[in-house]
A and B are shown apart, each in its own frame.
Chain A
């Protein structure tokens, strides 16, 4: 029997605001432990939360970008449970009236378009951070993260392969980065993803029993964990076993999921309206205003790049796949209006430098530098090859391209007399190739051009050298 996986993803995104959701403590990653805390985020008696207006705006932007409806009346609820990272013993969240519902995201997997429904987007606060020092009987608690704003984005079980999940996550992250509301850095925990997965025979409508997967630390880990879990569940079913509804942890090293096997008392969160926060309202005009404030989203930018610059969809997709890269491209364009040439340089050599060091700033690369290099190549001052080594040097040292050309003496030799001299020398020691060419062997010309390039230390202008050589060989 053939089985298919049915996958739903629950994504938590930290909103990049200056302050926490309900108090004025800094919302900052990497501060010294317990330095951004106050009576509100510690849940001390008598303190009252007040909502950060920016949190609601950022959340609404995301909801609208994901094509969701926005509720006109918003309230918060308490989710009650005990855990050492939760100082108030409840989390401020949203239960029966989430900020947004009925959203969707269109993705393309292997050329096939799919619409993934997004069930809900709601706001809540994050918990603190627990550290478990090895070999001790204690855990350490840092409340810097407690009370920072989190957005929970829950998809419908519309994903039907681990690859669907991977593409959905990548596109979601990109959209969030374009909106500018989150870093979406899984390593820093600013984006976290849990996955629900069940399997069913292809063609069956009824859903199977699902397992919840946790502890994936990258999008690739999500994909691999889902691949593993799909196989595990299919194997179980084929062996005549039943799937148990449970939470399973992904073990990156063992590349397997393991049942948490905790007592797993049924959760009873006793949600009730948060009495310390008043309700909030959005007028239709508010929503319109927020929609208007949305920046160009990745899909729109892709469309524009294809339409305005005549790029293939594949190249355009590479350019928009990182907001910084796309912004850099457009900044270059303002200085040097050659979209295709800039795109080629970015997608080729620049991207290969970026791979190891993912920011333009770290690469010392500015739009001015890059367009300068491209124009040096285009006007024949340096060869294409030299252009690439200038780029490497800029990345290495941050020196201006002009300086590098001078210092390394990379200027291309286009001077006819100088080239003729080199050609004579090359012809003298390669008589056979000269004869071969005379005998009609076209290949010999390319060989001789190669020799000229070599003799000139790669600096001969290849086009002029070729023309001069062809002329010189005709004479013999």
Chain B
């Protein structure tokens, strides 16, 4: 029987799902089984449009779930808010899961009713820039792409004509392409905060490419796996020691890379440069409020301090909106990058916020999005 803490390798029993799946189609099969067996009322998945576009859907149709196989590396959407007020199962990158947990701390999501199938994530790429990268760096028409892979630090694109081209991610990122900036310094690659942490690291030998590695993180994860096995949707077997070691090793390397990048990106600014930097960076803001809307941690609603104390009429370089948000999120920002993504005037909001949040969270020794029982430090002052 499956136990919490088990590390398994498995795949979907449906050949079609297994083939279409990012690795073994296990995630899709587990989600479908949870829906079929009534563990949840609906499932959140991505509906594919093309290689660079997919929309999140909330569905109770098993067929739609089964059709959602595959990893969308250029769809940096955050799924957390789709789980608000619903009884769902959902896949999620580490940052999706972090956001769900933050929402649950704000009483927006009931974790008991939400099943979180985590996906390992080495990073997502911005869709528009990715197309540009294909043209400029790969000399490939984005429409001709049929698939992509990451192997030995290289990003490989396969085209309709059967050719493929690989360029090292380092080179791409130096040229300003590749993963989103926040992914480059993200340090959670295996979603240990989810119920079931799935990925392809550690899938070796004959199974490489056609099975999914999954770690059962808690009771809910155990239920997910047992339910899917019972429903006949998946087959699993314990992972070998070698497989486990490889997964650990790759993860270690990736996390280390994230740490190094973080140190590089967030060098301490001299005092006198700070205010000019923030004022300059935020001066372009057109008050669209998109960053607040897109923030998967924020649960304030329309009337929030950041908007109520802000006046368009002020026309200040240092708007109260941003000042309040900087402070308000300093303990809870998960660095998911949504605010930067939506900003119409390209303000690197995530980076600005993180330059605030990293020292605060380090000092408070608090990691948002990891443990639902650990309330944000600014929620309540602990009276010792």
The answer on A and B forming one complex is no
